[in-house]
């Protein structure tokens, strides 16, 4: 997968489709900019782009589409502040700016042993950065015979990719377990409780499993503890750290984290490489 | 048959075959259809359950909002500790949200056993404490509302 990167100069990409995932989260499908690799935007699962609104600014957003379909550039964005609100308010037909792809992605090549089990643990809008890896695992059953997705969200309304989750649950070979922190009086009949509970409830072989984890940082910490409790070694756990960053090229130093720059060395890290930095509050 | 189930469950590891056989004599298998209540808040609590298959919702009833699910339990989870502690009444409703098979263990009998045999009592209570600890941690995480845009910070001091 050779990627032509647009590192320093943002290019314009037309918004083709906008789909509401939850009250504040949207999936945006952009046309891959024609100027890049003949309209094909190649990326590795877990990489991100700097996505922006012309004249306003740009923010890091993971690519949430299928790496096997480089003609479309898909991102899932939660509106939390100025720029993400402006991005999600953009109408189809208008253009956003794109710079990327950046960063080290999920270990989809290292896990190609054919005998390993994969566990994907996602919390909230931590699922979109994992979706390209899931597509890759599902498209390669011989390489990834056993795949499990554990997904937790705040409440049933906040679950993203609802239709796809249903398809994966009913029609894919992936085991899918979903839980919400609060069911309220929504009529939800699925599980209620934190996503870390699910780790104790699924069967896997800790010596053969590779875990991919993405979500809010507190959820990451508890998930890592739970995986370690189940005997999964830190070298077999990968986490995505979504701290604030600016340049995407290791230049500005905004995202320095211990010896690493999240924009370049991450956002995906092998847990044993960052374990010492993980729970330090002052960095 | 119940003995085999107990042997396989981590909660009962370290119990000797005689103890397991005895406990098995005080077990009963129960089946519930979707929507059926297993126990109700305020009623006498005299046993605890091992979920063999299915899914159970622990609920609290709020007039005006109806039942609010606090937590769900599924295969291999243990459910119900109120029989151990005074006033021995259930604190929540438990309702099957899928067809559910449970193993019910007679609490009052077990209570007598663990009081008479401190070694068994220690083993049993340390297992119970571990489960309660795990559930307390999970509940704390749930309370932190970590997925909200501005996570609640229950530990950050507010002036009293
Ligand atoms: C590598 C990487 C990948 C990301 N992928 C996605 C993605 O796929 N989808 C998505 O919706 N968001 C993603 N984010 C987060 C996104 O970049 C931020 O939400 C965005 O920068 C906020 O900018 P803003 O101007 O809208 O809000 P601001 O006005 O800058 O901030 C609004 C609020 O959001 C909080 N915030 C800002 N940045 C972050 C962050 N990184 N994580 C958590 N809270 C933050 C701020 O503390 C503040 O409370 C990713 C971040 C990184 C570093």
Q: Identify which of A71, A191, A63, A75 has the alpha carbon closest to the alpha carbon of residue A132.
A: A63
Q: Is residue B153 in some structural domain?
A: no
User: What is the rounded distance in angstroms from the CA atom of residue A68 to the CA atom of residue A5?
Assistant: 17
Q: Show residues of chain B in contact with A24, CB under 8 Å.
A: 149
Does the N-terminal peptide bond of residue B146 adopt cis geometry, omega within 30 degrees of 0?
no
Q: Is residue B35 in some structural domain?
A: yes
Residue tagged 């398809």 (tokens) = A167
For the residues of A15-50, what is the DSSP string, one character each? EEEEEEEETTEEEEEEEPPTTSTTT-----TT-EEE
Q: Give the other-Cβ count within 10 Å of A113's Cβ.
A: 10
Nearest-by-CA chain A residue for B64: A185
Direct distance between the N- and C-terminal alpha carbons of chain A, in angstroms, rounded to an integer: 34
Which pair of tokens denotes residue B160? Answer: 């009293």
User: What is the rounded distance in angstroms from the CA atom of residue A247 to the CA atom of residue A249?
Assistant: 5
Q: Is residue B90 in some structural domain?
A: yes
Does the N-terminal peptide bond of residue B87 adopt cis geometry, omega within 30 degrees of 0?
yes
The whole-number pLDDT of residue A242 equals 76
CA A83–ligand 1 middle distance (angstroms): 9
Element (H, E) at A122: strand A117-123
- pLDDT tens, residue by residue, B33-65: 999 999 999 999 999 999 999 999 999 888 887
Domain region containing B108? 2-147
Provide the domain count of chain B.
1
The whole-number pLDDT of residue A250 equals 65
Which pair of tokens denotes residue B128? Answer: 């119970």
Q: Is residue B118 in some structural domain?
A: yes
Q: Is residue B155 in some structural domain?
A: no
For A186, list phi and psi in degrees, rounded to 5: -85, -10
Residue A225's contacts (CB-CB under 8 Å, 6 or more residues apart) are A196
Q: Is residue B61 in some structural domain?
A: yes
Whether residue A97 contacts residue A85, with contact meaning beta carbons closer than 8 Å, is answered with no
The whole-number pLDDT of residue A262 equals 73
Per DSSP bridges, beta strands A117-123 and A209-214 are parallel
Chain A interface test: which of B51, B64, B69, B151 (most A C-beta within 10 Å): B69
In eight-state DSSP terms, residue B27 is: E
For the residues of B56-119, what is the DSSP string, one character each? EEEEEEETTTEEEEEEEEETT-EE--GGGSTT-B-SSEEEESS-EEEEEEEHHHHHHHHHH-HH
pLDDT at A277 > cutoff 90: no
Does the N-terminal peptide bond of residue A95 adopt cis geometry, omega within 30 degrees of 0?
no
Average of per-residue pLDDT across A98-118: 80
The whole-number pLDDT of residue B67 equals 84
Q: Is residue B106 in some structural domain?
A: yes
Q: Is residue B14 in some structural domain?
A: yes
Three-class SS state of B154: coil
pLDDT at B122 > cutoff 70: yes
Rg (CA), chain A: 18
Q: What is the mean pLDDT of chain A?
A: 88
Q: Identify which of A63, A76, A75 has the alpha carbon closest to the alpha carbon of residue A1.
A: A63
User: What is the rounded distance in angstroms from the CA atom of residue A76 to the CA atom of residue A63?
Assistant: 7
- Give the rounded percent of residues in chain B with a pLDDT score beyond 90: 70
CATH number of the domain at B12, please.
Answer: 2.60.120.10
For A83, list phi and psi in degrees, rounded to 5: -75, -40
Three-class SS state of A268: strand
Sorted by where each starts, the structural domains of chain A and their CATH numbers stand as 7-102 (2.40.30.10), 110-240 (3.40.50.80)
* pTM (two decimals): 0.89
pLDDT at A104 > cutoff 70: yes
* Partners of residue B25 on adjacent β-strands: none
User: Range with the lowest mean pLDDT among A40-44, A172-176, A248-252?
Assistant: A248-252
ipTM associated with this complex: 0.83
Does the distance separating the beta carbons of A182 and B138 come in below 8 Å? no
- pLDDT tens, residue by residue, A141-183: 888 989 999 999 999 999 999 999 999 999 889 999 999 999 8
Does the distance separating the beta carbons of A158 and B76 come in below 8 Å? no
Q: Show residues of chain B in contact with A201, CB under 8 Å.
A: 74-77
User: What is the rounded distance in angstroms from the CA atom of residue A72 to the CA atom of residue A160?
Assistant: 19
Where does ligand 1 bind, in terms of residues with CB under 6 Å? A 48, 59-62, 76-78, 80-84, 125, 128-129, 242-245, 267
Three-class SS state of A245: coil
């Amino acid at each position: 997968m050779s990627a032509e990167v647009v590192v320093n100069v943002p290019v314009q990409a037309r918004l083709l489709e906008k789909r509401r995932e939850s009250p504040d989260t949207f999936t945006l499908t952009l046309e891959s900019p024609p100027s890049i690799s003949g309209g094909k935007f190649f990326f590795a699962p877990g990489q991100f782009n700097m996505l922006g609104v012309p004249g306003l600014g740009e923010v890091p957003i993971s690519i949430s589409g299928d790496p096997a379909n480089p003609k479309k550039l898909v991102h899932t964005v939660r509106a939390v502040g100025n720029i993400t609100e402006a991005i999600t308010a953009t109408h189809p037909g208008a253009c956003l700016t794109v710079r990327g792809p950046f960063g080290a992605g999920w270990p989809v090549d290292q896990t190609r042993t054919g005998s390993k089990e994969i566990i994907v643990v996602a919390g909230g809008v931590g699922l979109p950065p994992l979706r390209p890896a899931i597509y890759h695992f599902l498209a390669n059953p011989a390489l990834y015979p056993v795949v499990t997705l554990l997904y937790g969200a705040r409440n049933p309304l906040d679950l993203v990719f609802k239709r796809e989750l249903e398809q994966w649950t009913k029609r894919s070979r992936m085991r899918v377990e979903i839980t919400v922190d609060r069911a309220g009086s929504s009529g939800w009949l699925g599980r209620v409780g934190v996503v870390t509970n699910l780790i104790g409830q699924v069967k896997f072989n800790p010596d053969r499993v590779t875990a991919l984890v993405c979500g809010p940082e507190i959820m990451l910490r508890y998930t890592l503890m739970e995986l370690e409790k189940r005997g999964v070694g830190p070298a077999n756990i990968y986490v995505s750290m979504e701290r604030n960053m600016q340049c995407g090229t290791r230049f500005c130093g905004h995202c320095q984290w211990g010896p690493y720059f999240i924009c370049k060395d991450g956002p995906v890290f092998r847990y044993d490489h960052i374990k010492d930095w993980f729970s330090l509050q002052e960095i | 048959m119940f003995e085999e189930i107990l042997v396989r469950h981590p909660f009962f590891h370290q119990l000797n075959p005689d103890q397991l056989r005895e406990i098995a004599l005080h077990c009963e298998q129960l089946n519930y259809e979707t929507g059926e209540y297993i126990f109700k808040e305020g009623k006498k609590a005299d046993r605890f359950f091992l979920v063999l298959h299915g899914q159970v919702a622990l609920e609290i009833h709020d007039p005006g909002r109806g039942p609010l699910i606090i937590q769900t339990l599924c295969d291999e989870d243990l459910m119900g500790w109120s029989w151990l502690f005074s006033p021995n009444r259930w604190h929540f409703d438990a309702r099957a949200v899928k067809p559910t098979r449970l193993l019910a263990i007679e609490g009052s009998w077990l209570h007598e056993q663990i009081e008479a045999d401190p070694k068994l009592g220690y083993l049993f209570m340390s297992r119970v404490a571990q489960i309660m600890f795990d559930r307390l941690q999970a509940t704390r995480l749930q309370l932190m509302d970590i997925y909200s845009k501005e996570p609640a910070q229950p530990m950050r001091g507010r002036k009293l």
